[in-house]
Amino acid sequence: KVLPTSCCFLHRSSYKAELKEIGVYENALVHKNKCLSLFCGSAETPLIYGDIAPSKSRNAVPCTATGCKWPKSGDYVYIPVYISSSYTERNIIIRGLVSFHSSTCIRFVWRTSHVDYLYFYSGTGCWSYLGRQGGLQAVSLRNNGCLYHSTVQHEVSHALGFHHEQVRSDRDSYVQVLPQNIIPGYEHNFEKIQTNNLGTPYDFNSVMHYTKYAFSKNGQPTLLSKANPSLDFGRATSMSANDIARINKLYGCSE
């Protein structure tokens, strides 16, 4: 059943086996360590590129393989989801998911007996895996700090196979990285990747772009626009036209 386009919703009936599976998963990720930012993980889910959890088969590799994409059925890409009952503001997540319906061929449906699905839960910060992983695929959106429309779109875009804007292959023509201002040990978040840019331009307004102060150790910029060093960016409140175009191109959505 495709998620409806209106609010509000009652929590759907749960499945005992699923709750057992999810309960074990949640307990495995609980820890008391504080993070430097909301983009953090745990010992069980060390993160690459700020808020992307690595998989054994797909670490920092760009999502270009067929297996990385969610399968298409007819004109649409149906992605099953389960949203943890621990959320008090589930509608923020639902609105974020439904926002993909109006501009792309992505359709989120409630998970029933599906094997592969996205599981949204309040974990240690805001993070996601890159592309389809198979089985229960966690997307962490912490109750306190991650429940924003743009954050939902950002993490879901990772799950669809998209990396951060500032690591794309042509970024050196548009941004300057200032390593002297980056928190030691976090430099890997700025490493460039051989991405498939799908014929779209570099976009400072992308919901996938870091702010100019991301992972700063001293309050100074870690990223600057080469064309306009005073430009502020990385504060998108929703997907840009380029974000939408990339999803449609990657998944072969009809215009």
Residue that the structure tokens 């992308």 belong to: 206
Catalytic residue at 18? Answer: no
Tokens (6 digits) for 123: 């974990």
Residue 91 has pLDDT above 50, yes or no: yes
CATH fold label, 16-160: Collagenase (Catalytic Domain) (3.40.390)
Q: Which comes out higher in pLDDT, residue 130 or 62? A: 130
Q: Is 158 annotated as contributing to ligand binding?
A: yes
Residue 6 has pLDDT above 90, yes or no: no
Q: Is 11 annotated as contributing to ligand binding?
A: no
Sign of the four-CA dihedral 144, 191, 134, 67: positive
The answer to whether residues 198 and 189 touch, using CB atoms and an 8 Å cutoff, is no
Residue 52 has pLDDT above 70, yes or no: no
On average, the pLDDT of the chain sits at 81
pLDDT band at 41 (very low <50, low <70, confident <90, very high): very low
Out of 1-5, 36-40, 98-102, 140-144, which region has the weakest mean confidence (pLDDT)? 36-40
Residue 16 has pLDDT above 60, yes or no: no
d(C-alpha 157, C-alpha 102), whole Å: 15
Q: Is 154 annotated as contributing to ligand binding?
A: yes
Strand order of the β-sheet with 136-141 is: 52-53, 126-129, 136-141, 117-121, 77-83, 106-110
Residue 203 has pLDDT above 50, yes or no: yes
Residue from 26, 89, 155, 187 carrying the catalytic annotation: 155
Whole-model pTM: value is 0.80
The ranges assigned to domains in the chain are 16-160
